[in-house]
Structure 1
Amino acid sequence: TPSDAIFDSVSEAANGGHRSEGHIARNAFRHPVETLAFFGLQPDMTVVEISPGALWYTEILAPILKHQGRLIAAAYDAELPSARPFHKRLMNEMLEQFEKQPSVFANVEIAKFTPPNVIDLGADDSADMVLTFRNSHGWVHAGSAVKAYQSFFNVLKPGGVLGVVQHRGDNRLLSTNSEKMSGYLSEAEIIALASNAGFVLEAKSEINANLNDTKDYEKGVWALPPGLATSWFKRKEHMAIGESDRMTLKFRKPLL
């Protein structure tokens, strides 16, 4: 069946020799096989991955979509005057990786995604799926989330899917007297963002839940693996907790 086939191909890509041991080790926390099957990924789709970062998911998506589909990596426009060194580094590392592993990444297209200034994901109604993993807190904090989610809606074909994985928690800021983000957002906040853009929530999954996540760390979600931004004597405790508690939400753009 198609669902069995996608399980096999995601599993093969997630454990492939083109990935680092460090990235493969995160499979246990991020459940890529179950997550992508839940979103309904198929090998002939046009998929836009938003803010691919260190390419953790890109390495899985690229081999699956290489022959029949399209993968568009929507990355920060490093040419912009507002681009920070971190954005330039991510773009350079992505291009280097693409050059190093052409058998994996040769067909990946690059789009510009710098909300709210420059968003060019492709023609309206052109994608089957938009995926965003652990990015939404940054857009909410910067005040660009409404524009971001509207751009996801616009690029998707009617009937297309938006898949969101996001750190889940009720306190968006580190504390009441802090302006710094915790990295966590509530499900209600994401659902409202997507609904206001025109999406319908189709399903939720608890595949990326973590009940051991206490969500009260001094450095927010970054105190947990893989970042471990915490004091050395708490590292063992945080390693034992694992990665953050995450919502996994599947939205659909209505057919009409």
Structure 2
Amino acid sequence: MRQIMIAAAIATTAVAVASVATGAPATQRDSIRAAVEAPTRTPDRIARDRYRHPVETLNFFGVGADDTVVEIWPGGGWYTEILAPYLSEQGQLWVTAPGDRGFSGIHSLQETHPETYGSLQTAIFPAGEGDARVPDGSADVVLTFRNVHNWRMGYQRDGADYSPEAFAQMFAMLRPGGMLGVVDHRLPEDADAAREESSGYIKVSTVRALAEGAGFEYVGASEVNANPADSADWERGVWTLPPTLAKGDADRQRYLAIGESDRMTLKFRKPD
């Protein structure tokens, strides 16, 4: 009996140590992993897990299974395919797009797997007068993956930078104490800042200034999505690398060997 009790104590300690090391309870990490392994995910997106590290990323952001989560501009739904099954039983998922056409990928998922995606809520972002929007103070977590550079470059706004407005609206939709998670292509701090306007890369200092200017507190960063092989100085910007491969077959194997871009992973908090 003594040996059993000692073994149990060791096991309990090991779980506790693992939880501290990952920054979240083991049950949360296990639940995220189960969602990553959901049968509703598509194979071509699963193949990119090695670049995007969804278990580690969502665990770092502290996304709970009972949270109300807003995913900003999900595109075809790469992260939506993970967040929807993860939140389906206890939580709520909102997805936002710059206009109705931006929901085409999400509608496709809803048609294919209504049992998983049927409860999704949609809203316009950034929202203008009269647009359906995420209610103020309703979200526990807001997530945006590889989008801040688009706002900085004026995508959908004729080249006009609207990143401060975007951060202000994300701040408004969060409850006090809520978290903002940002992943984006990282421009070296010593690079010419003008490259943020066309390369698809953006500096950590720029993202922090935008977030803190909107009222967020900086919580911390993870290097889980770092890629030291990415020099971030490509002629055709970040789109030179996978998955876009803007140069087609030219040097294709070289860019595939580098993999997807070097990315920042930053966490911010809306003060109480």
TM-score, structure 2 length as denominator? 0.84
Q: Which has the larger radius of gyration?
A: 2
Aligned: 1:133 with 2:149 = no
Answering whether residue 263 of structure 2 is matched by residue 241 of structure 1, we say no
Change (3 A) 1:156 1:67: same
CA gap 1:95/1:34 in 2 versus in 1, 3 angstroms: same
1:147 aligns with 2:165: yes
Change (3 A) 1:209 1:115: farther
Q: Does structure 1 conserve the Cα–Cα contact (< 8 Å) formed by 2:153 and 2:198?
A: yes
Shift of 1:116: 6.6
The answer to whether the 8 Å contact 2:75/2:105 transfers is: no
Counterpart pick for 1:91 among 103, 115, 118: 103
Whole-angstrom CA distance in 2 between matches of 1:144 and 1:120? 19
Paired residues of 2:179 and 2:270 also in contact (CA < 8 A) = yes
CA contact (8 A) 1:31 1:207 kept: yes
Residue 189 in 1 paired to residue 211 in 2?
A: no
> Deviation above 4 Å: which 4+ runs of structure 1?
115-120, 171-174
Residues 231 and 211 (structure 1), Cα distance of their counterparts in 2 relative to 1, 3 Å cut: same
Answer yes or no: is the 8 Å Cα contact 1:133–1:166 preserved in 2.
Answer: yes
Using a 3 Å threshold, how does the CA distance of structure 1 residues 119 and 253 change in structure 2: closer, same or farther? farther
Establish whether residue 36 from structure 1 lines up as the match of residue 58 from structure 2: yes
Change in 2 beyond 3 A, CA 1:21/1:93: same
**Which residue, 50, 60, 75 being the options, matches 1:53?**
75
**Structure 2: distance between partners of 1:113 and 1:71:** 15
2:92 aligned with 1:74, yes or no? no
How high is the sequence identity, in percent, across the aligned residues? 45
Q: Which amino acid aligns with 1:57?
A: Y
- The answer for unaligned runs of 5 or more in structure 1 is 79-87
CA distance in 1, matches of 2:256, 2:194: 23
Encode CA deviations 1:164-212: one digit per residue, 9 max, x unaligned. 00100145555xxxx9610000000000000000001001100000000
| Residue 117 of structure 1: how far off its partner (Å) | 7.1
Change (3 A) 1:130 1:120: farther
**Cα distance change, pair 57–133 in 1 and its aligned pair in 2 (3 A):** same
What is the CA–CA distance in structure 2 between the aligned matches of 1:61 and 1:241, rounded to whole Å?
28
Amino acid corresponding to residue 23 of structure 1 in structure 2: R
Q: Give the partner amino acid of 2:202.
A: L
Q: What is the aligned partner in structure 2 of residue 217 from structure 1?
A: 234
Residues 116, 144 of structure 1: 8 Å contact kept: no
C-alpha separation between the residues in 2 aligned to 1:93 and 1:59? Answer: 11
2:41 paired residue number: 19
How far apart, CA to CA, are the structure 2 residues paired with 1:144 and 1:118? 19
Match of 2:25, SS?
A: helix
Q: Which shifted more, 9-18 or 235-244?
A: 9-18
C-alpha separation in 2, matches of 1:221 and 1:19: 26
Structure 2: which 5+ residue stretches go unaligned?
A: 1-18, 155-160
Q: Secondary structure at the match of 1:54?
A: coil
Displacement of 1:148 after TM fit? Answer: 0.4
Name the CA distance, whole Å, in 2 between partners of 1:118 and 1:74: 15
SS in 1 for 2:34: helix
Q: What is the CA-CA distance between 1:19 and the residue it aligns to? A: 1.3
SS in structure 2 opposite 1:232? Answer: coil
Structure 2 CA distance for partners of 1:196 and 1:240, relative to 1, 3 Å? same
Superposition deviation, residue 76 in structure 1: 2.1
Give the TM-score normalised by the residue count of structure 1.
Answer: 0.89
| Counterparts of 1:116 and 1:186, CA distance in 2 | 28
